[in-house]
Amino acid sequence: MSDTPWWRGAVIYQIYPRSFLDTNGDGVGDLPGIIERLDYVAGLGVDAIWIAPFFKSPMADFGYDIADPCNVDPLFGTLADFDALLAKAHAHGLKVMIDQVLSHTSDEHAWFKESRQSRDNAKADWYVWADANEDGTPPNNWLSIFGGSAWQWEPRRGQYYLHNFLASQPDLNFHHADVRAAVLDNLRFWLDRGVDGFRLDSINFCFHDAQLRDNPAKPKAMRTGRGFSADNPYAFQYHYYNNTQPENLAFLQDLRALMDRYPGIATLGEISSEDSLATMAEYTRDHRLHMGYSFELLTDDFSAAYIRDTVRALEAKMTEGWPCWAISNHDVERVLSRWGNGHASAAMANQLTAMVCSLRGSVCVYQGEELGLTEAELPYEALRDPYGITFWPEFKGRDGCRTPMPWSDGEHAGFTSAAPWLPVPPEHGALNVASQQVDPASALNGYRRFMRWRRDQPALRLGGIRFLDTPEPVLAFVRELDGASVLVAFNLSAETVECALSLPGTLQPLQGHGLESGSLDGGNLRLPANGSLFARMV
């Protein structure tokens, strides 16, 4: 156990800096705000933090459009602030992972400013450039996730450039060896500062098909979104050629070779492909990424069968690698609204946290999950997300999950002394940290109890997983490690349920997890609303 890498079975708390805590009164969260609240984060019982981008950026996509990947944007603070954050996190026993956006840059990055000037400068081929068709149209049918063609005309060169996201986020040409070397140099900068790992944004988007072949059309019945709305034209294609190319595998091995020079580093790749589970398995074997996660549990699909089938499918494919699961993040509707069916409660919030933290793998949890926050309903005039502004009203974008953390019952819920960059909804203010801390029955205290308890359950953190075939809405599985077996069962509904469950041996209920607990009597499993059962099998 002592030789187990820290990231196996770790709970990684995602911090969205803009919305965590503002310390300088400009309405936007910052690195000193994270430093000020690290005591709180450590007290949650998590193992690590993942900090979303805080690098120099014009903020067209709120930090995922990076102009200088080796500097802190003044909006968030300074490099000295980051160093102080790193030191304090480590003093609290927290590992620090930072976001890295490798596949594209901002159009204000120095590399792109040079590349766009001519076809013969030193960085002319550092981005994906292509001539127009004879009729002036883009070179192929590739689409941007954020709407419209993935190609933008550049008059200085008389060519189109590729952007899988916003037009202000041009894609790097990873077929160029100098690009790959420069990207790895940027990672080395942060490794030398002492970070413990990287969350790699859209890591399967690094390479494109060098032949620029058209993506084939997808039948209407197959147009389901994974990280994007199903009515987005992006869903109308099979994305066989604009991402997830075979050349990426060799690059991932080069990336891993760099990581291995720094002991204790972890890489976590965000993967969204036509078969994300297969790509996760492929990207985490043969000395590539340490972990991968996808959008499979970040969708509207919610049932015991869906969760069971998804995890089983990954288990069948991922025979070597290590998974990571998430049910919320900064890109999707908050899980209590997405899966709550109007029944959001502290009990459901704690149960969903326990469920995802009991699956085999590591876990990313998003700030505010511990408070039981629901999705904020914002009017059009309050939106800041270009994705939501483009697709309103059918898709409202990502602002609803990015509203500020509520810390107190004061003005703007204690997030800022100024007007916040996004409004704090009243229902979030009522769930503030200060109020929940003094309420033993709050979602926050339930979260803390479960996380502390989980740390002492090696089978849950590191064991194998075997699902039991149970009827809806019961999800049940066994976690096994070194001959020890733990039965885990959840009632994913707001009504009491009973079902037959035949297991060999006897069960000893495990206490201390703090959840609404069920019982198993003579093969009859009884679970209260949003109830759970953890029992040692002997």
Cα separation of 55 and 164, whole Å? 20
Q: Is 466 left (phi over 0), alpha (psi -120 to 50) or beta?
A: beta
| Given the residues 201, 282, 315, 333, the one annotated as active site | 201
CA atoms within 13 A on the CB side of 410: 8
At 173 the three-state DSSP class reads coil
Q: Which residue has the tokens 């002319």?
A: 124
Q: Which helix (H) or strand (E) holds 267?
A: strand 266-271
Cα separation of 462 and 476, whole Å? 17
CA dihedral 223, 300, 15, 232 (to 10 degrees): 30
Q: Please say if 201 is a catalytic residue.
A: yes
| Given the residues 99, 154, 270, 282, the one annotated as active site | 270
Tokens standing for residue 117 = 């000037």
Q: Is 320 left (phi over 0), alpha (psi -120 to 50) or beta?
A: alpha
Q: Which residue has the tokens 């100024």?
A: 418
Closest CA to 199 of 333, 292, 100: 100
Whole-number CA gyration radius for the chain: 23
> Any bridge partners for residue 323, and if so which?
292
**Residue 479: φ, ψ to 5°:** -105, 130
Q: Please say if 73 is a catalytic residue.
A: no
- Residues with Cβ < 8 Å from 470, sequence gap 6 or more? 304, 476, 489, 499, 501, 525
At 219 the three-state DSSP class reads coil
- Residues with Cβ < 8 Å from 183, sequence gap 6 or more? 102, 172, 174
Cα separation of 128 and 488, whole Å? 49
Give me the active site residues, please: 201, 270
